[in-house]
Amino acid sequence: MTATNDQRKIRYAVVGLGWFAQQAALPSFIHTENSELVALVSDDPTKSEELSKKYGINHTYSYDEYEDCLASGEVDAVYIALPNHLHCEYTVQAANQGIHVLCEKPMAVTEEECETMIKAANDNNVKLMIAYRLHLEEANLQAVEIVRSKQIGEPRIFNSVFTQQVEEGNIRLRDATGGGTLYDIGIYCINAARYILQDEPIEVFAVAANNGEERFNEVEEMTSVILRFPNERLATFTCSFGGASVSTYQIVGTKGDLRVEPAYAWQGELKHYLTINGETQERTFEDHDQLAAEFTYFSDCILQDKNLEPSGTEGLIDVSIIQALYHSIETGKPVQIQTRDACGGKLRHQRPTSAQTIEHPPVDETPDLIHAAAPSGES
């Protein structure tokens, strides 16, 4: 059952109740006018019980009861915040029941899984959006506009560092669940390079490093990447699970540069440092509820039957780049790449612009976590 315009609100089930769902997603529904949290899906009965009481949720389901949730008539859309290796399965199940899907990034672990998800959404005429929250966030979208306006001249270099300490035992450190630096945090750098340069890489190269700690037995500690873009532009970044908390990117043009810091944060102020002809201007962007913006935008696209950005194709392109980077690490060689969509082989041209900016007040307080732990350096 799908909501009509007269209902005004899209009814969501949140699937997976890890730290990010608890701290960022669940509290954000209070800031949306067209979205309503009606169901929780988790195999942890303590989480389900305590969070349903906290948010006044009447419907809770285990993962084995997911199909019951989808067929209940109570839900119009799901927000999937599960481990990466489960994204495809749970998206396809929802699409086959006519339920719209907002899926966390990375979209999936392989290109084939991404294509399966896109096909399921298309075959069932449901919306599929990948949760690139920064595509709706003012500081990042204004960075896009600064580069597009040629204030810094022709963009030549994109460089980023995104690092944090991830504690032993965290799911991000498990290979079987789609963990690793590129899938978890490197994807932010890849995506930012693409929306800042408004283009797709044609060649990639990567190297991984590991300091030998036991927590990095299954995945790399850190990765450094070079992306070659058309017109001989280069994007570089390093991401790490074993460094202090850093989140920044810089675009260097022929006349100036722009630095965004912290670049990828989901809460708190973001800052621009724009330097032209040796003079630097600083601009601060206020804290906003980025998850409420996502739900608002996705619900509006459902209610108004509008094409959305970022679509499944956006998620597919990033996963194809990540797979090429791991191939480069394995072979020690650059990898040629063609990022084409899953439907017809055409390069994607729809990209985020400042027109997508959505601002909601920040979440008042950070909720206490129930049977979940945030990575060190995040809250």
| C-beta of residue 80 within 8 angstroms of C-beta of residue 90 | yes
CA-angle at 341, arms to 339 and 342, nearest 5°: 130
Question: What's the rounded Cα separation, in Å, for the pair 183 and 323?
Answer: 9
Phi, psi of 268 (to 5 degrees): 90, 170
Residues 6+ apart with CB under 8 A from 127: 77, 100, 101, 121, 298, 301, 302, 308
Question: What's the rounded Cα separation, in Å, for the pair 111 and 326?
Answer: 13
Closest CA to 102 of 67, 75, 142: 75
Question: What's the rounded Cα separation, in Å, for the pair 311 and 107?
Answer: 10
Closest CA to 191 of 359, 82, 375, 321: 321
Instruction: Count other C-beta atoms under 10 Å from residue 246's C-beta.
Output: 17
Catalytic residues: 105, 188
Q: What are the beta bridge partners of residue 61? A: 41
Question: What's the rounded Cα separation, in Å, for the pair 98 and 76?
Answer: 8
